[in-house]
Each structure stands twice: as structure tokens, then as C-alpha cells.
Amino acid sequence: MQVQFETVTPIWTGDAWGENSEIKPSSVMGSLRFWFEVYCHFAGIEVKEKEELNYKKFIEKRKENPTKDEFEILQELGITLPSQIFGCTGWKSRIKIKKIENIKTFELKKNSIDYNFLFDKDNNTKWWSNKLLFDKKDKITLFKSFDISFNITSNSALNEFKKFLKFYQDKPILIGSKKAFGLGFVKLKTDIDLEDIKINIKNKDYIIWDKVKISNNKKVLGYNIKYFLRQKENKKFRVKNFGKMAQASNYYFSCIVDNECYIISFGNRNILNKYKSFLKEEPTNNINPKKNNIKQPSKNTNDLIQHFKNR
């Protein structure tokens, strides 16, 4: 199967030296597994953080019934679907990258970015972008798009991977690193007909995909948008919603593309709507969710958010 990784915003999969010279298969596969787990939560499929297969028991069960599908045996042994496809201790992945090709790159110049868009009285976004994104360079090379050919060595894995692609037909996922700067928002495309693929979505409120119209003709990093909203938010909710330095956030904002910003939220729809109103320059009062009857995430949702942060 060939899948095109079509970027909404360019991808960074750089190394320890701050160079983005190649697409790292491990980074791509790690991201795909993460977003496959997200799909599983929406479909009501069990996900575990760490798993280990007793391979001797697997062989014993296979000898008992040689024609039985391997995924059925794994399920009987308590191995969840993500590990069945992407592997775990004692079990090899049933999907591997065969070839990465048609790679297109993009040069992002530091002086092409509007750091003052929205609000930055101390110029903090420019300082942090220079330090963590450009590493004091005048420009960096990012990946604009590429195609990946996958080897999928199981019909069951192939069918589940098609469901995964069907689920994300209208949703961006995040690939690589530097996500806080708005990089790595990607849409997955394939020539395979997914029209007849059926997916059963049971849970609809775990993660929210949305976008907001923003009038600005210059390049604006998602980091500027996040910084602006963080400053607008009530202090006691800043860490809760946006995380501390080097911690996962509940909100990810793409760079502004064609006057639109994509948003992926591990949070609350009502709070997200408040942030959208800030970005549309229609400010509302800071909201304390408990005092304003905004529905709080359920315990299951909070557990899920914590699982995603751990991953």
C-alpha cells in the first residue's frame, strides 16, 4: 500500500544536532501508532500502554488450530489491536516501511515570519523560535510532502489499516517533532478505494479537530497563536490547558495556512470555542468552567488524555 503524506504544515524529523536532513522511519511509525491508538479510542477498541506477548503460548495455540487467524490468537492472549499491528515485546510489527520517495522540501526563512501577529509585547515567540526552531540559523529545511510504500504482511492488519485511513480522511494528524511551533500537521491520502470500508465510531468527545479563519497574509507560527491564547487565559488554567515547558499541551495549533489555523484539542469544546473567539478578535470574559456550567471531561476522558501525554 502506498500512502501520500500531504502536509498542511511542513514536517520536522530532525536529529540531535538540529539538522532535518532525512525523514526518520522510526518517527513516522511512532506517530502512526499513536494516531492509530487515537482511532481505537474513538472506535471503542482497547488500548494498553505497555504489552508483552508470551510467544510460546502463541505457538501452542497455533498448533492447536493451524488455520486460525493470528490476530484471533493474539486477542485470546490479551494482546490489543495496536500491538497486533505495530508490534510489542515478543511480537513483530505487521506493517513496515518499504520505501520513502517523492520527497519534496521547503525552506522556511526566519525573516519571513510575522512574530508580532496577535500579541507578543516581550518578543518571546521570536526568541524561543530562534533558539529552538532555527537554532540561530537564518533558515531551515522542512519536508513538504512524501510518499511511503508499506509492506503489510497480514490481511487482518491491512483491513484495520484501511479503517484507520478512512477515519482520518477528513482529519489532520501530527508527524515528527516541533509540534508546538505548528509543524507536522499532515493529511493521509491513498489511491485505494475506501468507499466500502465501514468503521464504527462509539466515542466522539475525546479529541476535537477544528479550524478557525484568521485574516493575515504573512507566515505565522502556531507557537505565536498558542502564546497569545496562553496569555489571554486565566492564570490558574494556563498550565492545565497548555502544559509547562517541555510538557504535552491539550491544544495544538497549526501555522496559519491560507488564512486558516487547524486545531487539534485534547480538551473541552466550550473552552476551544472561547479560544476561537479570541482568535477572531471577539474576546469574551475568561471562563472558569466549573462556575459557568461547562461540562467537564469524564474520568475516562481524563485517563485517556493522560495516556496520550505518556505516549
Per-residue pLDDT reduced to its tens digit, 216-227:
667 889 988 888
Residue 86, H or E segment: helix 81-86
Higher pLDDT, 24 or 167: 167
Residue 156, H or E segment: helix 155-167
Q: How many helices (H) does the chain have, and how many strands (E)?
A: 10, 8
Estimate the crossing angle of helix 235-242 against helix 222-232, to 10 degrees. 150
What are the angstrom distances between the C-alpha of 33 and each of 25, 47, 99?
Answer: 12, 11, 18
End-to-end CA distance of the chain: 26
- Sign of the alpha-carbon dihedral angle for 226, 211, 28, 82: positive
Average pLDDT over residues 299-305: 60
How far apart are alpha carbons 223 and 254 in whole angstroms? 8
Q: Which of 6-20, 56-70, 113-127, 294-308 has the highest mean pLDDT?
A: 56-70
Phi, psi torsion values for 151, nearest 5 degrees: -95, 120
pLDDT band at 261 (very low <50, low <70, confident <90, very high): very high
Q: Locate 60 and state its grid cell.
A: 501452542
Higher pLDDT, 45 or 205: 45
How far apart are alpha carbons 138 and 136 in whole angstroms? 7
* pLDDT the model gives residue 303: 61
CA 200 to chain centre: 21
- Map out the domains of the chain with their CATH numbers: 2-109+140-189 (3.30.70), 208-310 (no CATH)
CB-based contacts of 73, cutoff 8 Å, min separation 6: 58, 61, 62
Q: Which of 3, 10, 1 is nearest to 186 (CA)?
A: 10
Rounded CA Rg of the chain: 21
71-98 per-residue burial string, b: 16 or more CB within 10 A, e: under 16? bebbeebebbbbbbbbbbebbebbbebe
Average pLDDT over residues 80-93: 95
* pLDDT the model gives residue 217: 67
Beta strands in 70-109 (DSSP E): 95-109
* pLDDT the model gives residue 232: 87
Q: What is the pLDDT of residues 177-198, one digit of tens each?
A: 889 899 999 999 998 999 999 9
pLDDT band at 127 (very low <50, low <70, confident <90, very high): confident
How far apart are alpha carbons 146 and 104 in whole angstroms? 6
Average pLDDT, the chain: 85
Degrees to nearest 5, angle at CA 249 with 243 and 250: 115
> Which segment of 4-18, 115-129, 147-161, 216-230 scores lowest on mean pLDDT?
115-129
How far apart are alpha carbons 250 and 309 in whole angstroms? 9
